[in-house]
Amino acid sequence: MFIEPILRGERRGWIEVICGSMFSGKTEELIRRLKRVEIANLKAEIFKPAFDTRYDEQKIVSHDENKIQSTPIDNSQTILLLAQDVDVVGIDEAQFFDDQIATVCEALALKGMRVIVAGLDMDYQGKPFGQMPNLLAIADYITKLHAICVVCGNIANVSYRKINAGGQVLLGEKDIYEPRCRVCAALNR
């Protein structure tokens, strides 16, 4: 049972969620925290969705080109299989994972691991995205980051889609999305 190590007084795990809009620095913050884990000589496993190959097939890469090695996976249950005997688990683009990602993160934390998760909290329409609301609900620590609105210069919390195509998931960068504040995003919907 997962609770047994806690009852024996061993290390306790927790879940950190880094969220916000596109271009807010979520992946950059995830990479920064994971590099500090390396400096501390802690063992980490890092995961990302296999279909997200925008910058690299293997590495997690931020928009400012910071990068760290990761393991691309197709479903969240794989994390439980691959994250054995580690201190920290990093997960990027959590909004793209299946409905078991929150359960997987909870299981890892109960095993005494620090779990750091980054993802979009809202989609391009300003609606909760994927399993992020569930991850935010069970998180011990939440960091919400903001970009700068390209229209007015205020804080941006919306990943505004510049083209009218695709469903909720449409992989892209600055060619398709731009950060906007709530007001500037609403003006062009």
CATH code assigned at 25 = 3.40.50.300
Judge whether 82 lies within some domain.
yes
pLDDT at 167: 58
Judge whether 173 lies within some domain.
no
pLDDT at 11: 73
What is the tens place of the pLDDT at every residue in 147-189?
999 999 999 998 888 667 665 545 545 567 899 999 999 886 6
Count of structural domains, the chain: 1
Q: Percentage of the chain surpassing pLDDT 90? A: 65
Judge whether 151 lies within some domain.
no
pTM of the model: 0.86
Q: Percentage of the chain surpassing pLDDT 70? A: 79
pLDDT at 3: 52
Give the range of the structural domain holding residue 106, as residue numbers without chain letter: 4-145
What is the tens place of the pLDDT at every residue in 105-129?
999 999 999 999 999 999 888 889 9
Judge whether 30 lies within some domain.
yes
Work out the mean pLDDT of the chain and round it to a whole number.
Answer: 86
Q: Token pair of 101, please?
A: 């990602």
Residues classed as catalytic? 93
Judge whether 170 lies within some domain.
no
Residue-by-residue DSSP string for the chain: -TTHHHHTT----EEEEEEESTTSSHHHHHHHHHHHHHHTT--EEEEEETT--SS-SSEEE-TT--EEE-EEESSTHHHHHH--S-SEEEE--GGGS-TTHHHHHHHHHHTT-EEEEEEESB-TTSSB-TTHHHHHHH-SEEEEE-EE-TTTSSEE-EEEESS--SSS-----TTTEEEE-HHHHHHT-
Lowest mean pLDDT among 3-17, 54-68, 129-143: 54-68
Judge whether 185 lies within some domain.
no
Judge whether 85 lies within some domain.
yes
